[in-house]
Structure 1
Amino acid sequence: MRRLFESAGYRWFLLSCAYVVIAAAVMNGFYTKWRLNDGHPALSLSRMVEGTAHRPYVYRQFMPALANGIQAALPQATVARISERLAEPRRLNSRSGLAMRYPGSEALMPAVTLRYHIIYYLTFFALLAALFVMRRVCLRAGADAVAATAAPAIVALLLPFFLTEGGYFYDFVELLFMMSAVLLAMGASRRTPLRLAFLLVLVGLATWNKEAFFFFTPTVYPLLCRNLPRAQAAALVAGLLFVSGCVYLALRMRYAGNPGTTVDYQLWDNLRFYADPGNWLRTENTYGVLLPRGFGIVSFLACAGIAAAGWPRLPQTLRQHAMLALSINLPLFLLFCSPGEVRNLSMLYPSLACLMALALTLWLQPRADRKPLAAAPIQ
């Protein structure tokens, strides 16, 4: 038994158990705060799966398409039987139901309930997978094993705080795609054609999930330059943008008749919001407790400290990636995002994870052993 408990396989089992608990806690924090926008006239899950949601929300069709496909593959009698059971009114007071103590939940609508549950659990598994991918990225960034294991859990637990002004199931899938794109780009070379092919496919799926991935795509260029000549890296990024753009244009054409607009211009509202000192001190209920909002002076100070500790140890290619992501994301954030909507700074999630892991690597060392270190190379 001792050999079993000391084996690498058992350690992976324990890590998996820990990450399952973390992902479940994060999903609960998200779901109790926003649910799946049940009943919202413009972007509820029922409208998303039926393709009648307003633009731009209706463009985020990757998960709804999966749910529709899974339901369509099942016999109609099976769908009817499962839907009837999932929509039982008794589930309102049952700990096994997503509609627990929420009479307005679309999880109780027979026509939607199966797809509702499919999307909920696919979102959970996407978040769980993102934790493992994030851990691998942190290790490649130079963090030690303990810090690289803890950092994804901390970043994931912060996500419900970042979901200010709205929270959506596709935000967690976006995290998985972004972390996967960074990991693939880190190891891409002419000797890894499958990795390059996976990157092309991933970009298409990620844009299907959320059209903003088109703007994230150029940020992998510095990572590609590590193993590819600049011209080839630029050509690959151009190919990625082409794939992403084609998917986005297809979505725009498919849902051109839906209500809404492609983007909303928010610059002046944002400038007024951020100029008001009171908006930096707001609170909201997250994880069932009234706490500072994801956008505010507390989170700003915390992120500044993490960046100050982690930046000197961050590899040069990841520094360039972070600066490129910031230079793209910040203008888009100010121009088109609702005031204080921190979730729309998502292009910085990979950088935050790496900085968190490297800061923890430093902080977990005994003070006597700390030395000024140059940025570690990506292995």
Structure 2
Amino acid sequence: MLDRVVYSRHASLLILLALYWMVAAAAMSGFAGKWAFRDGETQFGIELVLDDAARKPFAYRRLAPELADMAQEFTPPAARNYLSAKLGPGLTFARAAASVKPAYQFRYVVIYYLCFVALLGSLFVLRGVLLELGVRRQHAVFAPLAFVLAFPYLETVGGYFYDCLELFFLATAMLLALRRHWLLLVALALPATLNKESFFFFLPTLYPLIRDRGGRGTALLATGAAMLLAGLVNAAIKWSYLDAEGGAAHFQLLNNVYNYARPRAYLQAELTYGVVGPSGAFAGVLMLIAVIALRGWLSCPAGMRRHLLLAACVNVPLFLAFCAPGELRNLSILFPGFVVLVAHAMEKSQVARREGTKPDRSGLEPVARPQAHLRPGRY
């Protein structure tokens, strides 16, 4: 009886929840210590966001602020005061200066925990994506874990509260596509676009996955309907903030060309998790991404490879044209697919060790290695 309880599915889920909770808390801590919610910034700080006075395009990202406003309206004052006093990020992070201001305290707490729940949920959703694709369970657990721990490193040069929610929505959209929940995918476009308009551009990259599961007609209909709803929501938001300061997008192509042509752009540093680490398009980070992509590519399902190619064709031009130099967080359309590559890279490494092989110079195909070269206990 005791064995059945200890080794039950519920016990395994409890262990997994505890593990993912600690990982999400660590990632949220790394993010908040690094950027908080850009408190005090004069164009897009959290105070301006909560006052509905941020500049465009930051003014468009309204999901979390609207939920925070609703929570403040319906939560009794005593509960608001208690939660603000006990849970405020300002108790831990010096950067979270706005979280101790009475006008923003409770709403700040709401958005902070929305971000934490989004990171926690992303871990489970990404695990579900990997299991749907047939990845081994241990790799389905640890690949999302590795990515979310690395998330604060991707929040380089700048970081915003809606990035955490965006990861959750992108991963959820992919899972819904893989599980054939077309109507839910269309409905997801509403909150996901309210969070960030980039969701519109992620939707067409799901077409290969939907087509593999439901056929061409279903893929066209589901993708088209979701994009239509996302487009209408995006247009409505832009119309409502037509008179706000700033522009709908910031053209950065010339700035990016100049920046990436300089060797110095690949050798910058900033603090992450309180320790010096890479900043912007750091050479070591780009090399690591390339190694993971090459190692996981061939064993990745064909539909996922097509998704990644589409995502790159959509995301990279947008990244170069409209994103500040080094803002790796704006490659977010590639994030869910990259987690799949991480999982397959881990699987390939395990197979190579088990079979006594080593990768060739391309990193794609294993080359046999005599068993005599193996050291006892190493593999």
- TM-score normalised per structure 1: 0.90
Could you list the per-position Cα deviations for residues 157-189 of structure 1 after superposition, in whole angstroms to 9, with x for gaps in the alignment? 11111111211111011111101111111122x
Shift of 1:286: 0.4
Structure 2: how far apart are the matches of 1:64 and 1:154? 29
**Corresponding position: 1:131 with 2:123:** yes
CA contact (8 A) 1:162 1:295 kept: no
Residue 357 (structure 1) aligns with: 343
Q: 1:267 to 1:55 in 2, by over 3 A?
A: same
Shift of 1:228: 2.4
SS at match of 1:142: coil
**Corresponding position: 1:179 with 2:171:** yes
Residue 372 (structure 2) aligns with: none
Could you list the per-position Cα deviations for residues 286-345 of structure 1 after superposition, in whole angstroms to 9, with x for gaps in the alignment? 001111225211111111111111101111110000000000000000000000110000
Residue 244 (structure 1) aligns with: 230
Could you list the per-position Cα deviations for residues 6-49 of structure 1 after superposition, in whole angstroms to 9, with x for gaps in the alignment? 11211110010000000000000000000011111221222212
Q: 1:186 to 1:87 in 2, by over 3 A?
A: closer
Could you list the per-position Cα deviations for residues 176-233 of structure 1 after superposition, in whole angstroms to 9, with x for gaps in the alignment? 1101111111122xxxxxx211111101211110011111110010011113232331
Could you list the per-position Cα deviations for residues 59-99 of structure 1 after superposition, in whole angstroms to 9, with x for gaps in the alignment? 1111111111111123xxx32x44555666xx8xxxx6411
CA contact (8 A) 2:259 2:265 kept: yes
Paired amino acid for 1:309: R
5+ long unaligned stretches in structure 2: 366-379
Could you list the per-position Cα deviations for residues 344-377 of structure 1 after superposition, in whole angstroms to 9, with x for gaps in the alignment? 0000101110000111112233624378999xxx
SS at match of 1:199: helix
Which of structure 1's runs of 4+ aligned residues deviate more than 3 A? Answer: 81-88, 370-374
Paired amino acid for 2:89: L
SS at match of 2:89: coil
Paired amino acid for 1:24: A
**Corresponding position: 1:98 with 2:89:** yes
Residue 111 (structure 1) aligns with: 103
Shift of 1:142: 2.9
Structure 2: how far apart are the matches of 1:6 and 1:233? 40
Structure 1: how far apart are the matches of 2:161 and 2:141? 24
Structure 2: how far apart are the matches of 1:146 and 1:10? 16
SS at match of 2:271: strand
Farther off after superposition, 253-262 or 311-320: 253-262
Residue 156 (structure 1) aligns with: 148
Residue 26 (structure 2) aligns with: 25
Paired amino acid for 2:102: P
CA contact (8 A) 2:88 2:100 kept: no
SS at match of 2:53: coil
CA contact (8 A) 1:87 1:109 kept: no
**Corresponding position: 1:201 with 2:187:** yes
**Corresponding position: 1:295 with 2:295:** no
Structure 1: how far apart are the matches of 2:151 and 2:97? 23
Q: 1:198 to 1:280 in 2, by over 3 A?
A: same
Residue 277 (structure 1) aligns with: 263
Partner residue of 1:120 out of 109, 112, 121 = 112
**Corresponding position: 1:265 with 2:251:** yes
Residue 49 (structure 1) aligns with: 50
Structure 2: how far apart are the matches of 1:364 and 1:206? 36
**RMSD across aligned positions (CA):** 2.0
Q: 1:84 to 1:136 in 2, by over 3 A?
A: closer
CA contact (8 A) 1:56 1:261 kept: yes
Q: 1:37 to 1:103 in 2, by over 3 A?
A: closer
SS at match of 1:99: helix
CA contact (8 A) 2:56 2:246 kept: yes
Partner residue of 1:210 out of 171, 196, 205 = 196
Aligned length: 358
Structure 1: how far apart are the matches of 2:149 and 2:84? 30
Structure 1: how far apart are the matches of 2:270 and 2:329? 15
SS at match of 1:226: helix
5+ long unaligned stretches in structure 1: 189-194, 375-379
Structure 2: how far apart are the matches of 1:199 and 1:145? 25
Structure 2: how far apart are the matches of 1:361 and 1:102? 41
Shift of 1:50: 2.5
CA contact (8 A) 1:86 1:107 kept: no
Residue 8 (structure 1) aligns with: 9
Question: How is 1:135-150 mapped onto 2 (pairs within 5 angstroms)?
Answer: 135-150=127-142
Shift of 1:140: 2.1
Structure 1: how far apart are the matches of 2:308 and 2:341? 10
Structure scoring higher RCO (CA < 8 A, sep ≥ 6) equals 1
Structure 2: how far apart are the matches of 1:237 and 1:200? 8
SS at match of 1:290: strand
